[in-house]
């Protein structure tokens, strides 16, 4: 009985404490706090440098990978809770602009960026996002599984029987880089030929629908895949870590994958957002974007006079995606990929 | 006459006049109604409303359209969902897998419970900790560990233990059944172990005295009495497998074995979200489990067997001689497969610089472990945050579950199976669906989105989400525990004039205290590793541990992820053990007082009240 009474009293006390703890927990972001949703590795490093320089606090939210982030934004719908969103991929930014989740980046901010040639080509006509860096989807090769003289040189080489059943890829439904890659293939080859090409090389569903770069990397490191369509920055990070991988930029060219910042249509912190975007493309911001070892620290700069992280190539034959055209077909293409290559 | 009516009748016999009696009766009825409204209202807000908002989009896909929200019914999305061949494959695969694992995990859990509760197996204390330890290791971590072990160039392959052919078999339906069984057997172990303890050996002894052989006793008496517990386990494991995302997104996906939960995840992790597809698939999952619960109720039309009575005594353990060592070896083999090997893989990865270089001296590093134990590491702040969130959510969910289960014990015949069906259905719904529901409720619906508490983007809504996700589990545990109590216990007290509150406080709660602590601890552990809510409702002030862990694995930072996971598991184990030991100590202190009182009350069993 003593136990029961104690239990009961304790339950009441515990509930009261729980309720108060929730109420007293730090309040949600106020109108003064800049809230950034992101799926890029270097966001925390850049924000730290930004706050150190300006004294402006920033709330960073990383719900998961690009897929989880976009799902969260979609669920928030016409009541977005972020001021800025920082992700890879251009077509999705275009769609969010069309849905009035985002507003165009002000001309003044884009005009103030001293973009290099690649950077200039990445700026969308709609100003749906501010390009901050670039990477691409190239061919990653496991050098333990593929001898140096058998390395693929082009996308077409992956149809070679030696690679049949061993080509890995990510699911564009969940991966921004993967959608950019698929859309790029369709833009270059044409939709029908592009589909035929992917069907000829992605013959093993077990390794053609990974949700994240982590899973794809594991498949190639454990030998399930010999080659894969992977973001080059991810492979550079693995190579720097001592993994037996190599990067091949196919002769046909590769589609440029911008990382960019989008501005919420409902932001109440437009001034702070502008300050942050200006900082990202400043010398300090760009240095912070390379101050680490993870995948995104190996992205290539899009600002004049900024060197890439040691070891990463920048002289790449880029193809530039038409984000508006890709956005228009996005849902169809993603569904087609899911139906064909995702278990 | 219900117990409420009986209470009122008891009050009426001592009232001074008719008017007073009517007033007291009305006031009591109104209060009772208010309590019901509050308790069921909480259930509705935590589960029904968020779930309903996602499910309804199967029929109204434009309900939350950012440009033109409209509540028009569009059956085309359902036709599109059912028209997709991959969906039918996913449904078939999910049903087959859940059906197989419901049988294998229940059998293994029951066997493990029998060995520990009814035999003189050596190392009983050590072996009894295994299910708890398995339970506190998240499925996604075990899946990752087995991938490290069984992949083509994984650890087993590196030391020549697993040929490629076996690896191929593992990454298929057989491997999924194997892993799910090892992952889920603790659930039936807890439920059937508790039922075995409640059953005692009195019926068995009586039957043996009447000349029945042991096998016949088990077939004709014990197993039928345990049937409700078995049925609950089968349904619960079935629901667990259907809702699983940890293995569905790793081993199943790698096996090319499409499952519904992964399909929902794909539909819900994009811009724009295919709400119609996600809603349709979630509805299918819910219907599968509700159908099973209803079928179970229809097949077992007889009243549930009440196993715990005032006369329950601990069961005798069978003395097995040398055979007990064989059983011990079997139990240790389960421990090895379900716990030791996955943990060893995680430890190996936490100590390795890269995976492909394998377990060689040059590849060993303490870098990740040092980072994981460094208090200044921001990831550890997420761990501390999660400890607080899990503690609050566990307390809230267990409290609400007890109150709701107590009300349901007195509720209508319809209400109990309905709430149980919805709860088990909610168990089968992937957390991502409930998480979406929470965003829709608290960020999109006018008035609700303007409330200061709970607030989207705030820790309060994440804790509420955790509570909502855990409530069905707690409710199933508490309803099962209350369902085991023989009515004579409270009837005797009632006839002695004890009111409902007093009976609950002094008889019911002490007898279900074990289950209450189980519900509390299991919620605490699950919440520490709960993923979808942690990701979707991530507070702007900082993430919880699960989203940090999965991000590390997602970014292929497995070494750090493994080291941090180990740290999280150690912290959870220490906190859980402390709670458990404290609960046992408190129970032991009060048992001396409680037990005689219960037996005195029960021994005053009136005529006509049978066990």
B396 touching chain A per CB within 8 A: yes
Query: CA of A179, closest CA in chain B: separation in Å?
Result: 11
Q: Which of A21, A72, A73, A168 to mutate to test the interface with B (most CBs of B within 10 A)?
A: A72
Query: CA of A114, closest CA in chain B: separation in Å?
Result: 31
Q: Which residue of A has its CA nearest to B153?
A: A222
Decide if B7 is inside a domain. no
Tokens of A256: 């440029």
Quick check: A137 pLDDT over 50?
yes
pLDDT band, residue A12 (cuts 50/70/90):
very low
Decide if B570 is inside a domain. no
B459:A338 CB<8 A: no
Task: Concatenate the DSSP letters of all residues of B305-346 into one string.
Answer: P--B-TT--PPPPB--TTHHHHHHHHHHHHHIIIIIHHHHHH
Report the distance separating Cα B136 and Cα B569, nearest Å: 7
What average pLDDT is seen over chain A?
89
B312 touching chain A per CB within 8 A: no
For residue B303, what pLDDT is reported?
A: 44
Tokens of B518: 């189980």
Name the residue range of residue B353's domain: 93-257+322-364
Query: CA of A48, closest CA in chain B: separation in Å?
Result: 13
Report the distance separating Cα B81 and Cα B166, nearest Å: 36
Contacts of B64 in chain A (CB under 8 A): 75, 77
A209:B273 CB<8 A: no
- Residues in chain A, overall count: 343
Report the distance separating Cα B467 and Cα B424, nearest Å: 15
Report the distance separating Cα B192 and Cα B237, nearest Å: 13
A63:B597 CB<8 A: no
Decide if B184 is inside a domain. yes
B555 touching chain A per CB within 8 A: yes
Decide if B350 is inside a domain. yes
Angle made by CA atoms B90, B91, B96, in degrees to the nearest 5: 100
B535 touching chain A per CB within 8 A: yes
B266:A18 CB<8 A: no
B301 touching chain A per CB within 8 A: no
**Residue stretches of chain B with pLDDT short of 70:** 1-28, 299-314, 411-413, 590-611
A81:B456 CB<8 A: yes
Query: CA of A174, closest CA in chain B: separation in Å?
Result: 6
Decide if B447 is inside a domain. no
| Residue of B540, B589, B593 with shortest CB distance to A35 | B540
| Residue of B255, B392, B593 with shortest CB distance to A1 | B593
Across the strands, what pairs with A168? A228
Decide if B119 is inside a domain. yes
Pairing type for strands A84-88 and A254-264 reads antiparallel
For residue B18, what pLDDT is reported?
A: 62
Residue pLDDT, tens place only, A65-99: 888 899 999 999 999 999 999 999 998 899 999 99
| Backbone φ, ψ for residue A149 (5° rounding) | -80, -5
CATH number at residue B115: 1.10.3720.10
A2:B443 CB<8 A: no
Q: Which of A80-94, A198-212, A227-241, B69-83 is the least confident region?
A: B69-83
Query: CA of B220, closest CA in chain A: separation in Å?
Result: 37
Q: Which value does ipTM take for this structure? A: 0.81
Residue pLDDT, tens place only, B322-346: 889 999 999 999 999 999 999 999 9
For residue B300, what pLDDT is reported?
A: 63
pLDDT band, residue A16 (cuts 50/70/90):
very low
Q: Which residue of A has its CA nearest to B398?
A: A11
Q: Which of A6, A25, A212 to mutate to test the interface with B (most CBs of B within 10 A)?
A: A25
Decide if B29 is inside a domain. no
Domains along the sequence of chain A with CATH: 34-133+259-318 (3.40.190.10), 135-255+330-341 (3.40.190.10)
For residue B308, what pLDDT is reported?
A: 55
For residue B28, what pLDDT is reported?
A: 67
Prior bond of B272 cis (ω within 30°) = yes
B554:A100 CB<8 A: no
Report DSSP state, residue B485: B
For residue B379, what pLDDT is reported?
A: 85
Q: Where are the alpha helices (DSSP H) in B336-450?
A: 341-350, 367-373, 378-409, 415-428, 431-439
A5:B505 CB<8 A: yes
For residue B312, what pLDDT is reported?
A: 56
HEC-encoded secondary structure of B412-424: CCCHHHHHHHHHH
A62:B254 CB<8 A: no
Terminal-residue alpha carbon distance, chain B: 19
H-helix or E-strand containing A258?
A: strand A254-264
Backbone dihedral region of B162: left (phi > 0), alpha (psi from -120 to 50 degrees) or beta?
A: beta
CB pairs under 8 A between A and B: 256
Report the distance separating Cα A242 and Cα A244, nearest Å: 7
Number of domains in chain B: 1
Decide if B355 is inside a domain. yes
| Residues whose CB falls within 8 Å of the CB of residue A307, separated by 6 or more in sequence, listed in order | A301
A81:B457 CB<8 A: yes
| Residue of A92, A219, A343 with shortest CB distance to B271 | A92
pLDDT band, residue A273 (cuts 50/70/90):
very high
Q: Which residue of B has its CA nearest to A234?
A: B555
B356:A72 CB<8 A: no
| Residue of B439, B458, B510 with shortest CB distance to A27 | B458
pTM for the model = 0.83
| Residues whose CB falls within 8 Å of the CB of residue B57, separated by 6 or more in sequence, listed in order | B63, B64, B275, B276, B278, B279
Q: Which of B155, B170, B256, B269 to mutate to test the interface with A (most CBs of A within 10 A)?
A: B269
């Amino acid at each position: 009985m003593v136990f029961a009474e104690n239990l009961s009293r304790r339950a009441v006390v515990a509930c009261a404490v729980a309720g108060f703890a929730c109420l007293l927990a730090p309040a949600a972001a106020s109108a003064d706090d800049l809230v950034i949703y992101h799926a890029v590795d270097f966001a925390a490093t850049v924000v730290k440098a930004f706050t150190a320089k300006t004294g402006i606090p920033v709330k960073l939210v990383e719900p998961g990978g690009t897929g989880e982030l976009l799902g969260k934004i979609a669920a928030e719908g016409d009541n977005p809770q972020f001021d800025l969103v920082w992700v890879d991929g251009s077509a999705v930014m275009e769609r969010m602009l069309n849905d009035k989740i985002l507003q165009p980046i002000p001309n003044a901010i884009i005009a103030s960026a001293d973009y290099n040639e690649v950077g200039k080509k990445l700026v969308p006509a709609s100003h749906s996002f501010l390009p901050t860096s670039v990477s691409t989807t190239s061919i990653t090769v496991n050098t333990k599984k593929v001898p140096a003289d058998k390395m693929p040189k082009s996308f077409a080489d992956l149809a070679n029987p030696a690679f049949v059943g061993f080509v890995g890829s990510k699911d564009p439904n969940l991966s921004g880089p993967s959608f950019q890659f698929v859309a790029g293939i369709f833009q270059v080859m044409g939709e029908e030929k592009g589909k035929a090409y992917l069907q000829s090389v992605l013959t093993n569903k077990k390794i053609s629908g990974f949700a994240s770069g982590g899973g794809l990397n594991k498949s190639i490191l454990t030998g399930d895949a010999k080659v894969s369509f992977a973001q080059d920055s991810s492979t550079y990070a693995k190579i720097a870590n001592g993994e037996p991988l190599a990067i091949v930029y196919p002769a046909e060219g590769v589609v440029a994958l911008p990382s960019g910042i989008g501005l919420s249509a409902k932001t109440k912190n437009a001034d702070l957002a502008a300050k942050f975007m200006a900082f990202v493309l400043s010398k300090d911001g760009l240095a912070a974007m390379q101050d680490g070892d993870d995948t995104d620290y190996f992205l290539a700069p899009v600002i004049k006079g900024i060197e890439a992280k040691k070891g990463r190539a920048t002289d790449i034959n880029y193809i530039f995606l038409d984000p508006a055209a890709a956005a228009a077909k996005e849902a169809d293409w993603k569904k087609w990929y899911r139906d064909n290559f995702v278990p | 006459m219900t117990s409420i009516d009986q209470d009122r009748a008891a009050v009426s016999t001592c009232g001074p006049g008719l008017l007073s009696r009517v007033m007291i009766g009305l006031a009591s009825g109104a209060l009772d109604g208010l309590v019901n409204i509050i308790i069921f209202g909480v259930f509705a807000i935590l589960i029904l409303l968020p779930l309903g908002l996602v499910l309804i989009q199967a029929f109204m896909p434009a309900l939350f359209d950012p440009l033109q929200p409209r509540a028009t019914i569009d059956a085309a999305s359902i036709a599109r969902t059912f028209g997709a061949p991959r969906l039918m494959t996913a449904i078939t695969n999910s049903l087959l897998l859940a059906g197989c694992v419901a049988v294998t995990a229940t059998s293994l859990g029951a066997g493990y419970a029998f060995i520990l509760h009814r035999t003189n197996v050596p190392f009983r204390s050590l072996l009894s900790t295994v299910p708890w330890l398995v339970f506190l290791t998240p499925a996604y971590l075990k899946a990752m560990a087995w991938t490290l072990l069984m992949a083509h160039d994984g650890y087993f392959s590196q030391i020549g233990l697993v040929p490629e052919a076996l690896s191929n078999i593992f990454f298929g339906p057989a491997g999924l059944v194997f892993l799910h069984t090892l992952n889920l057997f603790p659930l039936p172990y807890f439920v059937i172990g508790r039922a075995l303890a409640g059953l005692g050996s009195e019926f068995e002894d009586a039957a043996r005295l009447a000349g029945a052989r042991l096998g016949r006793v088990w077939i004709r008496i014990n197993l039928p009495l345990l049937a409700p517990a078995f049925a609950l386990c089968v349904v619960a494991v079935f629901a667990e497998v259907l809702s699983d995302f940890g293995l569905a997104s790793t081993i199943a996906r790698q096996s090319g074995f499409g499952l519904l939960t992964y399909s929902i995840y794909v539909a819900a992790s994009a811009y724009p979200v295919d709400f119609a597809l996600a809603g349709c698939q979630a509805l299918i999952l819910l219907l599968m489990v509700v159908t099973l619960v209803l079928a179970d109720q229809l097949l077992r039309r007889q009243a549930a067997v009440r196993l715990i009575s005032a006369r329950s005594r601990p069961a005798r353990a069978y003395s097995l001689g040398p055979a007990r060592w064989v059983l011990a070896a079997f139990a240790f083999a389960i421990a090895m497969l379900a716990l030791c090997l996955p943990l060893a893989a995680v430890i190996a990865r936490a100590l390795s610089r890269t995976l492909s270089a394998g377990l060689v001296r040059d590849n060993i590093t303490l870098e990740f472990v040092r980072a994981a134990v460094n208090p200044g590491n921001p990831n550890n702040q997420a761990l501390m945050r999660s400890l607080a969130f899990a503690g609050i959510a566990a307390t809230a969910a267990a409290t609400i579950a007890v109150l709701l289960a107590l009300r349901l014990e007195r509720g209508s015949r319809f209400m109990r199976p309905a709430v149980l069906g919805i709860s088990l259905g909610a168990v089968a719904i992937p957390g991502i669906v409930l998480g979406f529901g929470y965003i829709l409720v608290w960020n999109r619906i006018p008035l609700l989105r303007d409330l200061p508490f709970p607030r989207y983007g705030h820790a309060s809504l994440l804790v509420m989400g955790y509570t909502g996700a855990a409530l069905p589990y707690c409710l199933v545990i508490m309803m099962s525990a209350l369902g085991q109590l023989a009515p004579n216990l409270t009837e005797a007290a009632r006839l002695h004039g004890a009111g409902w509150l007093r009976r609950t406080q002094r008889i019911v709660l002490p007898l279900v205290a074990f289950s209450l602590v189980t519900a509390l601890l299991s919620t605490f552990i699950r919440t520490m590793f709960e993923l979808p809510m942690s990701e979707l409702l991530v507070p702007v002030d900082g993430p919880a541990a699960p989203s940090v862990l999965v991000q590390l694995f997602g970014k292929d930072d497995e070494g750090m992820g493994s080291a941090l996971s180990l740290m999280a598991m150690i912290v959870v184990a220490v906190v859980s053990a402390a709670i458990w030991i404290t609960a046992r100590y408190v129970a032991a202190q009060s048992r001396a007082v409680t037990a005689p009182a219960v037996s005195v009350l029960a021994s005053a069993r009136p005529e006509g009240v049978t066990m």
